[in-house]
Structure 1
Amino acid sequence: MANFIPYGRQSISVADVEAVCDALTSDFLTQGPVVGEFEQAVADLSGCKFGIAANSATSALHVACLALGVSEGDRVWTTPNTFIASANCARYCYADVDFVDIDPQTYNLCPIKLAEKLAQAAQEDKLPKVVIPVHFGGHPCDMRAIYELSQQYGFAIIEDASHAIGAKFKGTPVGSRYSDICIFSFHPVKVMTSAEGGMAVTNKEPLAERMRLLVNQGVSKNKREFENRSPGDWYYEQQTLGFNYRMTELQAALGLSQLKRLTSFIERRRELVQGYYQLLRGLPVQLPGEADYAYSSWHLFPILLNEALTEQRATIFKYLRDHNIGTQVHYIPVHTQPYYQQLGFHCGQFPIAEDYYARTLSLPLFPDLSDQEQEHVVNVLKEAIDQAFIL
């Protein structure tokens, strides 16, 4: 039987291992210089002035909401087609969450649906304080359209680019222009990894300073910021209630090393996407595309089964898994989760996202996936579909 092929997997080089070992044998394991180097490198890549490292993208999303003043009674909107962290970050701040249905082509938050919902919310005096568009699968949202709506209705924007480091909107890096804060994830299945870890980038210094304080227990060692007179160089101040969301030197060292290969990672992902376009031709599936404004980093390759196969999705999923193909479903719509249904959401509210969920499967996509393994994935998928039609 063939080796298991996951939907995503990290690519670790000798240089990556050496970088981590160098950090491990240095004078610092946490709060050292490598974290700062990694922050600046990601900020530079993103066309932003400031980078704030965190132990996860979820943590980065949380402090981003806090830095923008999200609190009880505020409203935060995001997409239902995302991992739960994109909504949970607002709930951590005791804010109310709502969702905007997705575009059927990009599977991202739909700017047309957003405009309609904002117009209704303005009439009811229920506008959001923050909107969190998610660059699903590495494909950028239509950020210009969302930004223009923010100027009209007065909400802040957090780009959840957990899938999308290296992606571009109209030739410019995601996060560089149309948002207040942008978040990246470095989980092992993402485009690049720091094992665990996340990053917030911004061009606004007050937001950067606030997030930096929040990831470090709310503690400042900057004498210029002290509220009390400093009795000596040992002195520090807790100036707000923060969190231990710090990234380690080991994680930052791996991230810095991986960043050197980011371009090649994305190029290989894009090659594999072209391979899927060829290999899947003629099958009863809808393939993900790329809008003319977008340069996707292709974190995921989600296909949609034709409606005739919808009832057989679980059977096809099991066949693939039984044959060591690690297909996955991205994502179960957030509003259908029990926690959010307890808050009043119900199935049927966001039909495009729900239809997408009912038919989607993510196929393996990662830089070290070989052409032969990709062909094997498609051959097994064909077998699975044939079996489903027999049933």
Structure 2
Amino acid sequence: MSFKIPYGRQHITEDDVQAVVAALKSDFLTQGPRILAFEQAFAQYVGAKYAVAVANGTAALHLCALAVGVEAGSKVITTPITFSASANCVGYCGGEVVFADVDPKTALLDIEKVKVLLEKSPKGTYQGIIPVDFAGYPINLEKFRQLADEYELWIIEDACHAPGGYFVDSKEQQQYCGNGLYADLAIFSFHPVKHIACGEGGMITTNDKVLYDQLVQLRSHGITKSPGLLRENHGGWYYEMHNLGYNYRLTDLQAALGVSQLQRADERIARRREIAEKYDKAFANTSVGVMPMPAQQGVHAYHLYVIQVNDRKGLYDDLRQHQIFAQVHYIPVHLQPYYTQFGWKAGDFPQAEQYYSRCLSLPMFPTLSNEEQDFVIEKVLKFCQ
């Protein structure tokens, strides 16, 4: 039996297809009722008060940065182990990105390293923090909130990998990624390999009504038709542009797909955890390391299943020879040529760089069959023995 196994894959059902067909036959292809339906369903899913659907996860980050006031002179802390958009959103607004190293056990932003940055600078030097729930593993935002409050910082949670993930707070309460209890804003992505696939698309969640209203305007050119916000009103056609916004809207076609996909989100995350458990058992007591290390206080959403091996390039190439298309997540952002021009260099963040040198993301998606996973495990262990 031959396989061709990617690291991630969307799963589109007949229900999904029919939901999109219904949208195509409706009166609205964009800016219609399915947008609000998706927003309300998603807010309920993560436990937030408000949700704003946008064109993609990067647009979500950009709008969040605008909403919290990132501008020239703003300094914002984030992790180097993430997709570059987590940092780029600060630059879009003219701000300065400052990286801090990661925890070697989880590859998440290390709160102790963030503390060091904050302690050695006067209060007011930094404006905010963008922690990332990398690979689907939830960062402990309760601890980050305490630190942020001490230094009067906002928090934007990049939860693109983590719908359905949660950590347990000091009161033994499950805090789901994006629920808005500890972060001012959170963002999600609906790229095809993510938990909810809309082709493209993103969502911002928050419990702050002021931020919500601002985001709704910013995603649509800064324009409002809301009677309560208008300074004048010439009639039913009348609108006002209050901010310099963007066309970051989601279509009704994508929203229809998102609502349909969301209905099976719990079932799919349960399957991701089954796959992870099987990998965990297969790699226990072998030279294959697993990220995050066991006994951390969080429940993983498993967008990615990341292993650590000594000969990462060798294993990557060997798996491709067998039509297993593992991937690397991520090249540290501070080592990208764009960011090295600002003075970042190799050696700045040893834990992030060590993680990168050994990381590999194995196939992880709900429709991965048992036979396919057995094949992946067999080839990994054979190479690493």
Tell me if both proteins adopt one fold, taking TM over 0.5 as the criterion. yes
Contact 2:306–2:359, Cα closer than 8 Å, also in 1: yes
Residue 225 (structure 1) shift: 1.0
Flag the 1:290–1:260 CA change in 2: closer, same or farther, 3 A. Answer: farther
The CA distance in 1 between the partners of 2:294 and 2:257, in whole Å, is 30
Are 2:185 and 1:178 equivalent residues in the alignment? Answer: no
Equivalent residue number for residue 141 of structure 1:
139
Flag the 1:149–1:191 CA change in 2: closer, same or farther, 3 A. Answer: same
Are 2:209 and 1:190 equivalent residues in the alignment? Answer: no
Residue 89 of structure 1 aligns to which amino acid in structure 2? Answer: C
The CA distance in 2 between the partners of 1:275 and 1:118, in whole Å, is 41
Residue 127 (structure 1) shift: 2.9
| TM-score relative to the length of structure 1 | 0.94
Contact 2:82–2:332, Cα closer than 8 Å, also in 1: yes
The CA distance in 2 between the partners of 1:126 and 1:182, in whole Å, is 23
Contact 2:124–2:151, Cα closer than 8 Å, also in 1: no
Equivalent residue number for residue 280 of structure 1:
283
Equivalent residue number for residue 171 of structure 2:
none
The CA distance in 1 between the partners of 2:282 and 2:289, in whole Å, is 13
Equivalent residue number for residue 36 of structure 1:
36
Name the SS for the 1:121 alignment partner: coil
Flag the 1:252–1:291 CA change in 2: closer, same or farther, 3 A. Answer: farther
Name the SS for the 2:228 alignment partner: helix
- CA deviations 1:251-280 (Å, max 9, x no partner) are 111110111111011100100011001222
Residue 151 of structure 1 aligns to which amino acid in structure 2? Answer: D
Spell out structure 1 runs of 4+ moving beyond 6 A: none
| Superposition pairs of residues 1-391 of structure 1, within 5 angstroms | 2-122=2-122, 127-170=125-168, 171-176=174-179, 177-227=181-231, 229-288=232-291, 289=293, 291-305=295-309, 309=310, 312-385=311-384
Residue 126 (structure 1) shift: 6.1
Flag the 1:164–1:253 CA change in 2: closer, same or farther, 3 A. Answer: same
Residue 384 (structure 1) shift: 3.0
- CA deviations 1:17-43 (Å, max 9, x no partner) are 111111111110000000101011111
Contact 2:280–2:290, Cα closer than 8 Å, also in 1: yes
Residue 290 (structure 1) shift: 5.1
Contact 2:288–2:384, Cα closer than 8 Å, also in 1: no
The CA distance in 1 between the partners of 2:7 and 2:212, in whole Å, is 34
Contact 1:54–1:247, Cα closer than 8 Å, also in 2: yes
Residue 292 (structure 1) shift: 4.2
The CA distance in 2 between the partners of 1:173 and 1:290, in whole Å, is 20
Structure 2 unmatched runs, 5+:
169-173
- CA deviations 1:129-187 (Å, max 9, x no partner) are 11000000110111111110011111000000000011112112122211100111111
Residue 166 of structure 1 aligns to which amino acid in structure 2? Answer: G
Name the SS for the 1:287 alignment partner: strand
The CA distance in 1 between the partners of 2:124 and 2:348, in whole Å, is 18
Contact 2:163–2:178, Cα closer than 8 Å, also in 1: no
Residue 378 (structure 1) shift: 1.2
Contact 2:201–2:250, Cα closer than 8 Å, also in 1: yes
Deviates more, 1:274-283 or 1:371-380: 274-283
Residue 314 (structure 1) shift: 1.4
- CA deviations 1:52-77 (Å, max 9, x no partner) are 00010100010001000110100111
The CA distance in 2 between the partners of 1:173 and 1:31, in whole Å, is 29
Residue 102 of structure 1 aligns to which amino acid in structure 2? Answer: V
Residue 100 of structure 1 aligns to which amino acid in structure 2? Answer: A
The CA distance in 2 between the partners of 1:138 and 1:278, in whole Å, is 19
The CA distance in 1 between the partners of 2:294 and 2:209, in whole Å, is 33
Name the SS for the 1:377 alignment partner: helix
Name the SS for the 1:223 alignment partner: coil
Aligned length: 378
The CA distance in 1 between the partners of 2:270 and 2:60, in whole Å, is 27
Residue 231 (structure 1) shift: 1.5
Deviates more, 1:358-367 or 1:271-280: 271-280
Name the SS for the 1:275 alignment partner: helix
Once the two structures are aligned, what percentage of the paired residues are identical?
45
Residue 317 of structure 1 aligns to which amino acid in structure 2? Answer: Y
The CA distance in 2 between the partners of 1:233 and 1:105, in whole Å, is 57
The CA distance in 1 between the partners of 2:100 and 2:21, in whole Å, is 45
Equivalent residue number for residue 389 of structure 1:
none
Contact 2:128–2:148, Cα closer than 8 Å, also in 1: no
The CA distance in 1 between the partners of 2:381 and 2:298, in whole Å, is 30
